[in-house]
């Protein structure tokens, strides 16, 4: 149990440090996950070492959405004032994603 947690948190820390040292525009936690996936794919880490802890985090992921949800409720008035730009950004990003995905599928076929 502790070995898996140490590996996961170690890669999180490695990602944070790498991001700070390299000034990459990627969040440290995402960079840590990328490094962990590369280590798993490269055979440097055995999946069974982190599988149980990773499943625990995934199973309890909904807990991580409580603080942002509370934050949204605290700023509800501001969100209502800016609802049109928010909806516009959502619709525009949705359209761009659909078009971009379609173009990638065309290229891959």
Closest CA to 5 of 68, 54, 48, 44: 54
- Rounded to whole angstroms, how far apart are CA atoms 34 and 20? 16
Closest CA to 7 of 40, 42, 56: 40
Q: Which pTM was predicted?
A: 0.63
Q: Are 28 and 16 in contact (CB under 8 A)?
A: yes
Q: Would you list the domain boundaries of the chain?
A: 1-59, 65-109
Q: Are 12 and 54 in contact (CB under 8 A)?
A: no
Q: What percent of the chain has pLDDT over 90?
A: 77
pLDDT tens digit sequence for 19-28: 999 988 889 9
pLDDT tens digit sequence for 62-97: 998 999 889 888 988 888 999 999 999 999 999 999
Six-digit token pair at 102? Answer: 């379609």
């Amino acid at each position: 149990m502790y070995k898996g947690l140490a590996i996961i948190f170690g890669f999180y820390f490695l990602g944070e440090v790498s991001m700070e040292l390299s000034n990459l525009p990627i969040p440290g936690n995402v960079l840590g996950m990328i490094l962990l996936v590369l280590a798993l794919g490269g055979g440097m880490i055995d999946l069974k070492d982190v599988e149980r802890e990773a499943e625990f985090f995934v199973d309890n992921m909904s807990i991580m959405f409580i603080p942002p949800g509370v934050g949204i409720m605290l700023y509800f008035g501001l969100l209502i004032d800016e609802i049109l730009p928010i909806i516009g950004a959502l619709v525009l990003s949705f359209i761009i994603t659909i078009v971009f995905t379609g173009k990638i599928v065309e290229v891959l076929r």
